[in-house]
């Protein structure tokens, strides 16, 4: 079991990566992604909304160049006030 915990995600970079982001305002989240991703190509699609439409989940697909690049984007998304959760 400890061997499984020590296994690292093995990816070949560059590669496509999808972040799932959750927040209250779909447009604010899209603006946040645009600010963070900047001029890099990305696809933003609505995954689903809560029954009351209070929260929305977006899929953000982009190409990441390395593990550190993937983590930098993750941390930037996580730190943005328009985004509540990043998966």
State which H helix or E strand residue 86 sits in: strand 85-86
* Residue 32, in any domain of the structure: yes
3 located within any domain: no
* pTM assigned to the model: 0.86
List, for residues 32-78, the tens digit of each pLDDT value: 999 999 989 999 999 999 999 999 999 999 999 999 999 999 999 99
Report the domain count for the chain.
Answer: 1
Q: For residue 15, count CB atoms less than 10 angstroms from its CB and return exposed for 0-12, middle for 13-18, buried for 19 or more.
A: exposed
Determine the Cα–Cα distance for residues 31 and 8; give it in Å rounded to an integer. Answer: 32
> Is residue 4 one of the residues assigned to a domain?
no
pLDDT band at 5 (very low <50, low <70, confident <90, very high): low
**Other residues' Cβ atoms within 10 Å of the Cβ of residue 36:** 21
Residue 63 belongs to domain with CATH number: 3.30.70.260
Q: Evaluate whether residue 37 is within a structural domain.
A: yes
């Amino acid at each position: 079991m400890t061997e499984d915990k020590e296994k690292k995600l093995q990816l070949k970079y560059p590669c496509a990566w999808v972040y799932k982001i959750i927040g209250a305002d779909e447009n604010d989240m899209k603006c946040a992604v645009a600010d963070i991703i900047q001029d890099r190509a990305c696809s933003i699609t609505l995954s689903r909304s809560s029954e009351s439409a209070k929260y929305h989940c977006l899929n953000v697909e982009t190409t990441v160049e390395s593990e550190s690049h993937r983590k930098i984007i993750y941390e930037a998304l996580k730190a943005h006030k328009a985004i509540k959760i990043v998966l």
